[in-house]
């Protein structure tokens, strides 16, 4: 039943997407508004198909319907309810179902937002682009990622459940959906960029819409990346939260270009410059989401986060190529029509700072992209498989990060035009004092090394630079001054600065060692913490068998464990972590005794300020939400500007 229903919804979505594309093309070619008004029915049908196929698969997982091959391969009666629900996106086919659900959700939201303007060329071309993207993903579901194959289970059959690593932390249920909301969300500003290039629109009214959709996607991607870092930190057991893994890099790349766009679009609004560059950034961001999905799901690169090798890779690579070629062709053909003649009055201005900011973000993205795809290039040339390690990424990105922190500090103080020395010195005085005090405090508290000290000082300078306009906004407009793009952006800057300090300190001053305990009561001291071995215990659960190691650290019991899942012979470790504002103490099991003479081996990791990474991420998310709530006057002006633009 579920296989039949699911297959029907896939076919329905594929047909509705194709008919939607053809209907819009017919309406554009003939000028028939009647055809364009029919788009609403295809939006409705695609929405029903996306929700239907997702619901059918979840129903199959919840009821353990092993006649569905996907459930037979990844479901199990032993899997707890939350992880059973999240099993859908734990494997390739189900992850595409989630992707399509979110993509179609964005399509529906765009249609509802512009339902009274669907006949306008900009909106029509944007909807056409989104329908083409939907068509591609439904083709995946109907082809190499078809999720509703049949299976004939024997009596008493029970599946293996999802990958044991994916059942080790509750963030499995939240990290992928939030990350997808960001990844897929960049489809909307990409669609508007394509529409603007095709229709040769010159006005700036579209910026409000493109910026809002970009900000929404960027905010979700930011939270998704941080949730992924938190998940890695909680389950891998070596004290790391970012390893420059190819899949991690794949999510960082569109974040970098999306961040660059959110900065440079302000130059376009103020000076009418960078139209082609901003459209290129939006298109590049979407293209990088497709490239990242190819890396994640093709199996071409080794990664602890990647899906298994599949036949889906060639289709993603072909679609990525189509996107890049189409965008380049449109920019070559239409670029001159929308290019402006604006110029920078002086490099020492906010315009100059934003342009430098964009160059740095572009350089950052290039460095990460090169390090990520270089192994593919080498393998294509000589067949050798290599990997690019952390030293490359750290050495290449650290100088760029320092420069970005410096720009974050001075840009809010710079005017859009020429900056006078007296004005700058007045505006930068208190941020400079605050940065100096933070640096001195860091040194007094034990910061050593030029990189750590510089990171602390620049972060303090950046926080001071962001706090100044926030204080002025509150003085001018009260509590309402905290909301809007400018104030929200400053809050995001504060979050970034907090994360920068936490990353620098936690990575520079991490302390780690191993202890071997043979008998209950064995003790040790490390980094000022007292460890006392309390013994081992075996806990049998329906889905796994846990061998817990009990160690008292400063009187608090830590219970890291080694887990054995029935269908996996590989032991999976689960660390135990205590987080405080000052430092984190993490204990993980390296070896459990196999006989009476064996010892228990544990690894203890002590890292300062890790907690502040997650705090900084929360501040960034708060800033993104504050940025999405413009003042009432600005919102009304923007709405009128866009309405005038799309009805010309």
**DSSP annotation string for 74-107:** H--TTS-HHHHHHGGGSSHHHHHHHHHHHHHHHH
Same domain, 369 and 268: yes
* Cα Rg of the chain, angstroms: 27
Domain boundary among 106, 131, 154: 154
Is 613 inside any structural domain? no
* The predicted structure's pLDDT at residue 648: 28
Residue 502 belongs to some domain of the structure:
no
Tell me: do 130 and 177 sit in the same domain. Answer: no
Helix (H) or strand (E) holding 608: strand 600-608
478: left (phi over 0), alpha (psi -120 to 50) or beta: left
**186 lies in a domain?**
yes
Q: What is the pLDDT of residues 590-613, one digit of tens each?
A: 988 887 778 899 999 999 999 999
Q: Is residue 631 part of a domain?
A: no
> Is the same domain home to 176 and 93?
no
User: Does residue 447 fall inside a structural domain?
Assistant: no
How far is Cα 194 from Cα 9, in angstroms, rounded to an integer?
Answer: 29
Same domain for 132 and 203, yes or no, is no
C-alpha angle 622-623-628 in degrees, rounded to nearest 5: 100
Last residue of a domain, one of 134, 154, 174: 154
The pLDDT of 621-626, averaged and rounded, is 92
Domain co-membership, 285 together with 150: no
State whether 282 and 399 are in the same domain.
Answer: yes
Asked if pLDDT for residue 343 goes beyond 70, the answer is no
Ramachandran assignment for 118, one of left (phi > 0), alpha (psi -120 to 50 degrees), beta (any other): alpha
Is residue 638 included in any domain, yes or no? no
Percentage of the chain with pLDDT > 70? 92
Q: Is 420 exposed, middle or buried (0-12, 13-18, 19+ CB in 10 A)?
A: exposed
> What's the start-to-end Cα distance of the chain, in Å?
51
Cβ contacts of 452 within 8 Å, gap of 6 or more: 442, 504, 505, 508, 509
Q: Select from 360, 475, 345, 452 the least CA-distant residue to 406.
A: 360
Considering the chain, what is the average pLDDT of its residues? 87
Question: Residue-wise over 240-252: b if at least 16 C-beta within 10 A, else e?
Answer: bbbbbbbbbbbbb
Q: How many domains does the chain have?
A: 3
Q: Is 535 inside any structural domain?
A: yes
Q: What is the DSSP letter of 200?
A: T
Amino acid 638: pLDDT: 42
**Lowest mean pLDDT, pick from 24-33, 200-209, 495-504, 631-640:** 631-640
- Judgement on whether residues 604 and 587 belong to the same structural domain of the protein: yes
Among 516, 464, 508, 482, CA closest to 609: 508
| Residues 290, 195 share a domain | yes
- On whether both 392 and 279 belong to a single domain, the answer is yes
Q: Which residue has the tokens 């353990």?
A: 64
In a domain, 52, yes or no: yes
Average pLDDT over residues 430-451: 90
Do 87 and 197 lie in a common domain?
A: no
Per-residue pLDDT at 640? 44
pLDDT classification of 573: cutoffs 50, 70, 90 = confident
Give the pLDDT mean for 184-209.
84
Residue 112 CB coordination number (10 Å): 10
Same domain, 24 and 133: yes
Q: Which domain holds residue 132?
A: 1-154
Out of 101, 135, 154, a domain closes at 154
Same domain, 68 and 137: yes
């Amino acid at each position: 039943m579920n296989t039949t229903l699911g297959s029907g919804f896939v076919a329905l979505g594929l047909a509705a997407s194709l008919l939607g594309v053809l209907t819009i093309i017919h309406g554009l070619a003939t000028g028939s508004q009647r055809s364009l008004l029919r788009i609403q029915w295809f939006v409705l049908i695609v929405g029903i198909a996306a929700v239907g196929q997702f619901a059918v698969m979840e129903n199959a997982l919840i009821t353990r319907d092993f006649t569905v091959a996907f459930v037979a391969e990844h479901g199990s009666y032993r899997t707890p309810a939350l992880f059973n629900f999240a099993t859908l996106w734990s494997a390739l086919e189900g992850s595409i179902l989630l992707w399509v659900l979110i993509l179609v959700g964005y399509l529906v939201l765009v249609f509802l937002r512009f339902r009274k303007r669907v006949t306008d060329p900009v909106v029509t071309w944007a909807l056409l682009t989104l329908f083409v993207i939907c068509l591609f993903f439904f083709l995946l579901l109907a082809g190499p990622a078809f999720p509703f194959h049949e299976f004939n289970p024997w009596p008493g059959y029970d599946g293996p459940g999802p990958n044991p690593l994916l059942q080790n932390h509750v963030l499995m249920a939240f990290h992928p959906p939030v990350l997808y909301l960001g990844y897929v969300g960049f489809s909307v500003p990409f669609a508007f960029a394509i529409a603007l290039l095709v229709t040769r629109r010159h006005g700036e009214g579209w910026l409000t819409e493109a910026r809002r959709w970009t900000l929404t996607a960027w905010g979700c991607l930011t939270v998704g990346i941080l949730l992924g870092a938190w998940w890695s930190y909680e389950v891998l057991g070596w004290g790391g939260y970012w390893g420059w893994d190819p899949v991690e890099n794949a999510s960082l790349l569109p974040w970098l270009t999306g961040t660059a766009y959110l900065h440079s679009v302000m130059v376009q609004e103020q000076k009418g410059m960078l139209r082609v560059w901003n459209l290129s950034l939006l298109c590049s961001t979407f293209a990088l989401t497709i490239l990242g999905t190819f890396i994640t799901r093709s199996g071409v690169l080794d990664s602890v986060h990647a899906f298994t090798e599949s036949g889906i890779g060639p289709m993603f690579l072909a679609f990525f190529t189509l996107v890049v070629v189409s965008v380049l062709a449109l920019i070559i053909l239409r670029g001159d029509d929308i290019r402006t003649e604006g110029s920078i009055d002086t490099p020492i201005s906010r315009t100059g700072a934003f342009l430098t900011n964009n160059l740095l973000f572009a350089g950052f993205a290039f460095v990460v992209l090169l390090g990520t795809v270089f192994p593919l290039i080498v393998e294509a040339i000589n067949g050798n498989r290599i990997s690019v390690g952390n030293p490359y990424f750290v050495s290449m990105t650290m100088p760029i990060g320092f420069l970005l922190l410096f720009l974050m500090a001075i840009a809010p103080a710079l005017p859009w035009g020429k900056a006078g020395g007296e004005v700058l010195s007045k505006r930068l005085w208190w941020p400079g004092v605050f940065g100096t005090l933070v640096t001195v405090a860091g040194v007094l508290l034990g910061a050593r090394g030029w990189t750590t000290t510089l990171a602390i000082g620049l972060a303090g300078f950046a926080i001071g630079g962001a706090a100044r306009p926030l204080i002025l906004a509150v003085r001018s407009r009260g509590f309402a001054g905290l909301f809007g793009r400018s104030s929200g952006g400053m809050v995001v800057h504060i979050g970034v600065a907090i994360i920068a300090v936490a990353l620098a300190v936690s990575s520079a001053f991490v302390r780690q060692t191993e202890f071997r305990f043979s008998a209950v009561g064995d003790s040790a001291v490390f980094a000022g913490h007292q460890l006392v071995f309390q013994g081992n215990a075996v806990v049998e659960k329906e889905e796994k068998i846990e061998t817990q190691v009990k160690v008292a650290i400063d009187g608090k019991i830590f219970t890291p464990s080694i887990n054995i899942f029935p269908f996996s012979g590989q032991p999976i470790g689960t660390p135990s972590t205590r987080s405080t504002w000052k430092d984190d103490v993490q204990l993980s099991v390296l070896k459990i005794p196999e006989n009476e003479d064996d010892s228990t081996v544990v690894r203890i990791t002590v890292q300062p300020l890790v907690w502040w990474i997650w705090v900084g991420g929360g501040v960034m998310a708060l800033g993104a939400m504050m940025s999405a709530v413009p003042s009432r006057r600005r919102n009304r002006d923007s709405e009128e500007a866009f309405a005038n633009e799309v009805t010309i």
